[in-house]
């Protein structure tokens, strides 16, 4: 069990380039800047690496798809904080449980 925890943690540390993550880290947090195509790529790679059936996984429930509008561009230029809607957290701990089970299931809310 600890071995799979370490493998999942290492997978995300190596693929996200973020070294200070732990089991409670929410990889879908907008602060990690993992959006749209990047999120799809990382999650698909995770599911394949750990042989997980992800047919029930809906990426939009967890990851943000940024607004590419002029309004967002202006906020970036003016260095204003961008508020994203809250999504269901996707923690490393949950992904460890998914890897152990071998199939996707929704995290408890």
Can you tell me which residue has the tokens 């959006």? Answer: 35
Query: pTM (2 decimals)?
Result: 0.82
3-state secondary structure 47-58: HHHCCCECCCCC
pLDDT in the model for residue 109: 61
pLDDT in the model for residue 68: 64
pLDDT in the model for residue 66: 67
Domain chopping of the chain, boundaries: 2-101
- By three-state DSSP, how is residue 68 classified? coil
User: Do residues 32 and 63 lie in contact, with contact meaning Cβ atoms separated by under 8 Å?
Assistant: no
The one-digit pLDDT tens for each residue of the chain (109 residues) are 689 999 999 999 999 888 899 999 999 988 888 888 899 999 999 999 999 999 999 998 998 876 666 666 666 666 766 666 678 999 999 999 999 999 999 998 6
């Amino acid at each position: 069990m600890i071995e799979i925890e370490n493998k999942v943690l290492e997978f995300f540390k190596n693929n996200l380039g973020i070294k200070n993550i732990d089991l409670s880290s929410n990889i879908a947090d907008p602060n990690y800047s993992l959006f749209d195509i990047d999120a799809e790529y990382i999650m698909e790679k995770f599911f394949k690496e750990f042989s997980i059936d992800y047919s029930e996984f809906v990426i939009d429930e967890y990851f943000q798809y940024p607004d590419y509008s002029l309004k967002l561009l202006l906020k970036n230029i003016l260095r204003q904080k961008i508020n994203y809607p809250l999504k269901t957290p996707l923690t490393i701990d949950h992904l460890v449980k998914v890897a152990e089970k071998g199939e996707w299931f929704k995290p408890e809310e």
